[in-house]
Amino acid sequence: MANKNTVFIVVGVLLAAFNIAVVGTVATGAVEGAVQSAFQTHTKDTICANDDCSEVNEDWATSSSERSYYAWDLVNYEDVLANPMTEQQFEQVGPVVYEITAERTLVEHDAEAGTISYTEVKSFTWAGGTPSNAEVTNLNILFEPQRVGATSTFIGIVASMTQAGFAAGMIENDMEVGVPSQRTASDLDSTLVDLATTLSNEQVASKNMAMQAYATWNSTSEASAVYNMTLINGSEETVNTWSEPDFSDGLEFAFRQADDPGDSSVSISLDSKWGPAVFLGLGNPGSSISDLMANPEGNPSMVRATLFGYLAMQNET
């Protein structure tokens, strides 16, 4: 079952949220005054054990309830993988019963503004029914964008996956991630082609584009802040914000040739649909040289440079 094109869902989650409850004047139209008054103080009465809200009600601070979850299991996934035209056969799995415990902590009661701020942590504990570690198989239509960096949207879609909603989620993901990435790739490709025409070849053109991008970032306040943080960690000052990078070999690999290390058939070059999404999806650059040297495999800058073929650092000097 460990096929790349399938996804296994094990239900079990811990959610944290920060909430603001409005307890001030509520517009109620023609509602009777007594009802209006009661409704205005309902949230405060539910939360607060006294008038100044220095204490909270115990049944609000901690509450529990049960909820049942269901999923759809693709029972003929091997046939579907072998022939995508095969009709998919689903079986309902569940209920997986969870006890949901909500623990709330009062942060602030602002009587003048009419608001109460509190944190809420929900924990889900399996309480019966189908085992919580039951494997559920479904076609992963979003496999390509998921494996090349669009993971945040993908995970949100998988969490609410159903037969009816999955197609809508797929379209939403493509609109939010795929379309902007593809447009960026198209712009980069056009710029590189135009510049290569002027400068005689793409190697020189890609070098110039990289240096221009670096210079633009290096002049920002964010770059200065990161630089100052690096000095705090013991690095020596440099003439500019950072030592000037060397793009003399160009970035043709990054623009034209980079692919997924796990599957060479999937392009992640900057001129491909998902290339810009991968490049940005790897996260912000690390702010500490010492941290980078200590854990290069986990540093976003190193991972990105390795994937896109412009890594040049060999040692701490």
Does the model's pTM come out above 0.75? no
Q: What is the pLDDT of residues 253-309, one digit of tens each?
A: 888 888 887 777 888 888 888 788 877 777 666 555 666 667 777 777 777 888 887
Q: What is the pLDDT of residues 163-178, one digit of tens each?
A: 445 555 555 556 566 6
**What is the CB neighbour count within 10 angstroms for residue 115?**
15
pLDDT grade, residue 213 (50/70/90)?
Answer: confident
Q: Which amino acid is at 216?
A: T
Q: Chain-wide mean pLDDT for the chain?
A: 68
CA 118 remoteness from chain centre: 25
Q: What is the pLDDT of residues 80-110, one digit of tens each?
A: 777 767 787 888 888 888 888 888 888 888 8
pLDDT grade, residue 220 (50/70/90)?
Answer: confident
Distance between CA atoms of residues 91 and 132, nearest Å:
17
Smallest CA-to-CA distance from 273 within 187, 193, 192, 181 is with 181
Measured between alpha carbons, how far apart are the two ends of the chain, in Å? Answer: 47
* The pLDDT value given to residue 173: 59
Q: Does pLDDT of 38 surpass 50?
A: no
